Each structure stands twice: as C-alpha cells, then as structure tokens.
Structure 1
C-alpha cells in the first residue's frame, strides 16, 4: 500500500490507501470536535475563522487559529521532507516514517487526554494543534504517494472533483475512459470512508471518551503492517526451506 509510487499504483492499492486513511481522518476529525470542540482537518473553515477574527481585531483568537493553520501546514511540510530525505534508501521506510510519527503523536494525545487534560482553553488549543499536525502529516503523505489523486481530509476538493468527473461521465460528448471511472471510484471511497470513520469515531467517543485516541493508531498500524507482513512471511518461509 505504501511501497508503490505515483504512476505505478494499481486501482486496488489506491482504493485501500484511500479507504484506510480516509477512515482515520473521519474518526480523528469527529473525535477532535467532541473532545476539543474544534475541527482538526477543516482548513478552509479555519482560514475563514482567521479572517473573521482579524476583522473583529480579536488578536487572541487570531494567534490561536494562525497556530492551528501553521501546525497543519508544518505537518505536510515535514511529511514531504521526510519522504524526500529517505526515499533513496527505501520507499517503504520513507513512506512509513510519517505514519509512525502520526501514531506516536496520536498516542501522546490519547495519554494526555486521559491523564492530564482538564478542558482548559490552553490545553484545548494545544491538543487541537497536535492533532492538526497529524492530519497535515497524513494528508501530505497520501497526496504525495498517490500523485495528488487522494487527499483524505480535503473533502471540498474531493466533492468538487467528483462532481466534475461525474459530469464528464454522463456528458454525451465526453470520452468515458477507464482512468475517469477509477478517479470516481477513489473519490467516492474517500468520501464514504470519511463519513463512516466519523460515525465510528463518534460512537466510540460516546462509549470510551478520550480513549478513542488509542483506537485510531490501530488503523494506522494496519497500514504499516500491510506492506511489511508479506516480506516477513516470505523470509520466514524461506528460512524453513
């Protein structure tokens, strides 16, 4: 799932990447709202909020929203920097490092949320920034791996692209290519699994609260293991021969 690079990826691998990471994004976003009262992937909304707070001259809120936007940006920046730095060594290692970092930070948020978090404004803003950083890491990585085809938390662009591609599909003068249909499948997968992940995240939060942040990294771990498991199995079988 993580090994293949743009231009060499099958539809199956793209759908698996889209479904798994979109479900993580959906879960994280809903749990972030319920836990910290703020969206953790809605960059468009945060930019609009920033503009509104600047107009109101509410500088405390301006600094907070600017910090959130920077954390998402910085996460995407770090993700790409890691991939560029280690891609020569191993594609899997380079693509896996941002996921590992995301897992570590989300586990840190889980521990913090369960043992330290008391609902104060500072803690809420800091925790939201940490989760936004994770979403930036993931979105930047998935976008790079898929050649810009998949953006798991950018649903505004996804819905826009889906509408355009469906328009092409039904237009009498447009060519119905396989590439067009595959794009539509991927868009629908991202949107569907984002919604499904959000529903699951909401249900889990109602049952176990902040401990839901311990569950989200499990999905990310399966993404890592999907690629490494066949290699380990092959080596084990080889050793028995």
Structure 2
C-alpha cells in the first residue's frame, strides 16, 4: 500500500495542479511551470525563427511601421502571428467551456495537454526548410502562446498571465512605488502587497530562467528542444485525463 502511494504521488500532484478545484498555491505553482515553458518557447521562436512569438505589441508595431514603408511581406507575417495567437486563446476558451460541460474535472487539463501536443508538432517544424514551412512553425508557436496565456488566465480568474511580461513588470513597478510611498509617509494607508510582489517577481524570474534554458537548448539542438517542453506539459495534464479519480473503480 505504501509502495503504491509512493508511486502514484507524482500523478496525484500533477492532477492537483490542473484540477478543477483551485487554490492560490496550485495556481501559483502551475503559473511558475507555464512561465518557464513560455520563456523557453519564446527563446525558441527567436533562435529557430528570428521572432519573439509572445510579443504581440511588437507585431502590432510591425504592422503599422511596415504599412507605411510598403513592406507587405512583413505586414502579412505579423498579421499571421497575431491571428494565430488570438486563435490559440479562442481555442483554449472553447476547450475549457466544452470540458466544463462534458467532462467537468478535466476542463483545465485538456488545454494544457493540447499545448503539449502543439509543442510536440513544433519540435518537428525544422523538417520544413521552405518559407511556408517556417511560417507554419511561427503560426504554431504563436498559437501555443495564445493558448497558454488564455489557460492560466482562465485557471487563475485573470489574476496571472504568464506570457504577458509587460503587465507583470508594470505591476511590480506599481508595488515598488507603493512601498516607496509607505516609507516616505509611514502614517499613510498605502501599503505594499508583499505577497503579490513576491509572486510577480518569481514569475518574471521563472520566465527569464526558462528563456536562458530555452536559448541554450534551441541554439544547440534547434526545433527538437521543444520535445522535452511538450513532455513536461503532457506529464502535467495526462494524469488528470487518463487516471480515474481516487476512490473510483
């Protein structure tokens, strides 16, 4: 019995992370995993494709700038990237709502698993050496980024967005400003939210560390480095999808 409990413990932990009953702790831990994977994937987009695939603000700027200079190829590429990102977020919403009504407890495991499958597809994007093949790989990765940001947004009730580093860094600045104000005027009612600041800083660090690992991995093995990232996402999600709830036969 003890041996069985020891073996199944990782599966139970994975099921808790993507379970339908949420806690701030499980949201935070899952967000750390996803932020690190997002950082690694974004680095992969740069090394494999020369594009940062989570940076939608940059793509919007590319559309504006290149419309002015008449570079329609870059405009079309940016539109493809944004469209893929939005489609990924929309697909995540469809999966979550479908699973909520049909399979209940798997509503969050399903989109995480879908991201793992898409990353596995991206791992073999390097077999396409043509321009259309690279566009497919770009769209695939932007689709994954949109899915991931929507997944953690849905899971956390819009409290956390793992690919939106600009928003997280802005919130860090706000909390630091509140801390400075509290130091200057200790009698005021303004107080820093230390827990929120800790979470934001750790998520940004996870994103950066993931980016470092991803940069090293993609620089050495290319697209195939996506395979272990896909395996991690599938390891998080498959226990909830394949293993029956405890106590049921």
**Bucket of the pairwise TM-score, normalised by the shorter protein:** 0.7 to 0.9
The separation in 1 between residues aligned to 2:63 and 2:72, in whole angstroms, is 10
Q: Deviations over 1:69-95 (max 9, x none)?
A: 010011111111221222134444111
The separation in 1 between residues aligned to 2:228 and 2:173, in whole angstroms, is 33
The separation in 2 between residues aligned to 1:3 and 1:171, in whole angstroms, is 39
CA contact (8 A) 1:150 1:186 kept: no
**2:168 matched to which residue of 1?**
158
Aligned-residue Cα RMSD (Å) equals: 2.3
Q: Is structure 2 residue 27 aligned with structure 1 residue 14?
A: yes
Q: How far did residue 27 of structure 1 move?
A: 0.4
Secondary structure, aligned partner of 1:88: helix
Runs of 4+ in 1 over 6 A off after TM superposition: none
Q: How high is the TM-score relative to the length of structure 2? A: 0.83
- Uncovered stretches (5+) of structure 1, i.e. residues with no partner: none
Q: How many residues align?
A: 228
CA contact (8 A) 1:168 1:174 kept: no
The separation in 2 between residues aligned to 1:51 and 1:16, in whole angstroms, is 38
How is 1:93-108 mapped onto 2 (pairs within 5 angstroms)? Answer: 93-108=106-121
**1:220 matched to which residue of 2?**
233
- Uncovered stretches (5+) of structure 2, i.e. residues with no partner: 1-16, 183-187
CA contact (8 A) 2:110 2:241 kept: no
Q: Decide which of 138, 143, 147 is 1:133's aligned counterpart.
A: 143
How is 1:33-48 mapped onto 2 (pairs within 5 angstroms)? Answer: 33-48=46-61
How is 1:77-92 mapped onto 2 (pairs within 5 angstroms)? Answer: 77-92=90-105
Q: How high is the TM-score relative to the length of structure 1? A: 0.85
